[in-house]
Chains A and B, each alone.
Chain A
Amino acid sequence: MLSRVADSLYWMSRYFERADNAARVLKATYGLILNPAKFSTEERWFRAVSSLAPGAASNNVDPQRALFLLVADPEGAFSIVKCISGARENARQVREEISSEMWEQLNKLFHEVTGSELQPNDDAAAMRVVTLVREGSYRFSGVTAATMNHDEAWHFIQLGKYIERACNLCVLLDAYFAVDKHADDLDWVGLLSSCAAFEAYCKACTAELRPDRIANFLLLKPEFPYSVRYSLDRMHEALMAISSLSLSRRTDKIERLIGRLRSMVAYVQVSEVFRNLHKYLAEIIEQCRDLHAAVHEVYIDYPIEVAFET
């Protein structure tokens, strides 16, 4: 597959996952702020903003504008609308690689979320966009899985989706557990809903909301699609599949990186993790970045001389 195409598929997928993550978090946060609680509205918005747009977070988040900014800010690089546009723009570059059904879904979603200009204080309209993206995301995943060959292109899409998800989950967990001493049940429900995990958690661990169980579930549970462990497993699968298709040399570097990263969640107890959760999460994010760089160097932007060596 063309390197440029692989790159576009990867980014299409990352942007879509980023939009979906923002939609999940915003939906949960918006549900939370309707209830009075220990946490002020400002604090809750701050938590959402800092997990979605790390650069933009500051201590004085204007709760009246936070939702608008995260959904549709035309300037901000992190808004849902920006991410959907980014996903579509990348898909547009590789129209011939993805199935028509995928393009139609993505194109339709793009036109739905950009169709009318969002007003800063129209919460209902912003939440409609959030819902559209949530539903659109499930549809897009389904259509992708059902209509594409599960070949190299598919694996690059999977890689983009799960590397983005793993990083987002780590950032989100960090934002919630940084203030865990104050968190009450409502907030834990908020965290679980942000990961589309509430029902799945209840099924596995009952409705008793305990921080260590929640962390265990969202970090280490191999069966749950929005856990870090699950995401890293899928990345591992995708990378191994890509390297087995590739005649390319130098994939051993990638195999080492993903192997080490995966062992961080595969061979660990939640109690160990809890000793310094922030450091642990930061380490995972750091290693994901290294992996991203290595993939780019081996498959996308390699020097010509290297190609002629083999």
Chain B
Amino acid sequence: MNDSPLCELFWRSVKRGRMIIEMDTSERGGAEVLHRYELNGAYDEMYSAVDHPRKQYRPLHNLLLNLGADELRRSKHEADQSFFNQGITFTVYGNDKGTERIFPHDLLPRIITATEWEKIERGLAQRITALNLFLKDVYHDAKIIADGVVPGSIIYTCKHYRREMRGIKVPRDVYVTVVGTDLIRNPEGNFVVLEDNLRVPSGVSYMLTSRRVMKQIFPGLFQKCRVRPIEQYSQVLLSTLRSLAPEGRSEPTVVLLTPGSYNSAYFEHTYLARQMGIELVEGRDLVVHDNVVYMRTTFGLQRVDVIYRRIDDDYLDPLVFEHGSSLGAVGLFNAYRAGNVAFANALGTGVADDKAIYAYVPKIIRYYLDQDPILEGVETLLMSDPAQRDHVCQRMNEYVVKAVGESGGYGMLIGPHSTEEQRSEFRDKIQAQPRNYIAQPTINLSTAPCFVDGSIEPRHVDLRPYVLYGEKITVIPGGLTRVALRKGSLVVNSSQGGGSKDTWVLQN
């Protein structure tokens, strides 16, 4: 019973109360569900060549050969039902009825070998160490500017640069506690960094819950593959947050600050708060008195030491930032400045994930760590540079153009998939605000097998691993694989029709 498809079928029949194992590969037509799988020149996660599955994918591949479309459809339905009943949903804005949808997900896991992961892990740790040093430098001595490595004109014009953070000491000098870096795999098969998300990265709850569902759906396969666990995420996050508490607070109170139940990531906020056993607070629950933050409880006011905030900088404190915002609480920033409360992540971290700064990250790594970057980035052209700008404007159909301060797939032009009208619109925008745009060559993201309309087809994917930084750096072995579910699409953002997959990092 060690052969995985057999084992899997066995499990399935047990689950359905049928003890008879029907198994005859030849008769079932084998690759029925795989007949529409066409390699398109991108790196394929499963096949190294037609009909040659990579070693790490063989157990899954065998299983697929033996499962019919109906069986897969049933599993998909079972998974959907599980997501729905658990309320694993995201909120769709601007839709009055049925504002909650289940997070679109794909049934099949994405598999990463131990060797591939080892490099990702080292690369991310290196990159985040350097970016954190960069933030500390930017908000204190700004040596990197004085040494001419990154121009001040770029740093100080970042949309997310926060002047108010100048000279503020943050606990342990850790600015970026929670990071979700977006990686993609290029046609040569190397992982490269596409984007650093250093502000309030989301999606980790989908990683955790889809793992739970996958264990239910593919227990045999999961066991056979020897997948590294990710379930420790919440514990590591909690201890990371606690390590940021102000000195002398031996039993610190950690809370998660949410914008409220109408936020698209509200499910994640409740999920993490519950997993960590901490209070989920809204701005209106917090009171600041004498530069100390309290929350309003049924037995009076209770002091708060660490705030894992899932609200953007701008909305945290109406006294300092957006004056009209009611999401945060009045006086939070002063309490922070006084060192009486810690935020994770710190404020102003967005300066380091600005897409123009991204172009300088290799230099930043060399400057602070004196090392070569382990993970490459994507070649990035700054539109503030006249020569590069002209170059891109003439060949816009070859490039992806992005607004520097945006995320979530907004404010983006994908050259090869654009119309002339869209290109000229972006050309105008670039000319008007060159600092606001960068361009990158279009990269053919790798493809992974997905279950779509009753058969298995390749779809483009990226990978968002999660990194926690407190006393030390922890890279969680897994992550969110995001899928562009539309055929041929390169946009994986959930706000733009993307879905997710469970990501299996294998043990040695």
Contacts and interface: CB of A to CB of B under 8 A. Distances in A.
Contacts of A304: 287, 289, 301
Interface string A280-310: 0000000000000000000110001001101
Contact of A2 (B84, B86, B285): B285
Contacts of B289: 304, 308
Nearest to A155: B298
A5 B295 CA distance: 12
Contact of B299 (A92, A104, A247): A247
Contacts of A6: 298
Q: B86, B270, B282: which has the most chain A beta carbons within 10 Å? A: B270
Majority DSSP secondary structure for residues of B touching A: mixed
Contacts of A111: 84
A3 interface: yes
B274 A95 contact: yes
Nearest to A4: B285
B400 to A, nearest CB: 37
Nearest to B273: A96
Contacts of A34: none
Contacts of A5: 279
B287 A4 contact: no
Given A4-B285, A93-B261, A96-B270, A308 B301 contact: yes
Interface string B285-299: 101010000011111
B301 A307 contact: yes
Interface string B4-39: 000000000000000000000000000000000000
The binding surface of chain A is classed by DSSP as: helix
A104 B84 CA distance: 9
Interface residues of B, number: 27
Contacts of A248: 298-300
A105 B20 CA distance: 33
Nearest to B87: A107
A152 interface: yes
A95 B295 CA distance: 18
Contacts of A107: 85, 87
Given A95-B87, A96-B280, A100-B86, A4 B296 contact: yes
A183 B296 CA distance: 51
A310 B300 contact: yes
B298 A1 contact: yes
12 contacts: A2-B297, A3-B285, A3-B296, A3-B297, A4-B282, A4-B284, A6-B298, A104-B85, A107-B85, A247-B300, A248-B298, A304-B301
Interface of A: 1-6, 92-96, 100, 103-104, 107-108, 111, 152, 156, 242, 245-248, 299-300, 304, 307-308, 310
6 smallest beta-carbon distances between A and B, as pairs: A95-B270, A96-B274, A246-B299, A96-B273, A299-B298, A96-B270
Interface of B: 84-87, 260-261, 266-267, 270-271, 273-274, 279-282, 284-285, 287, 289, 295-301
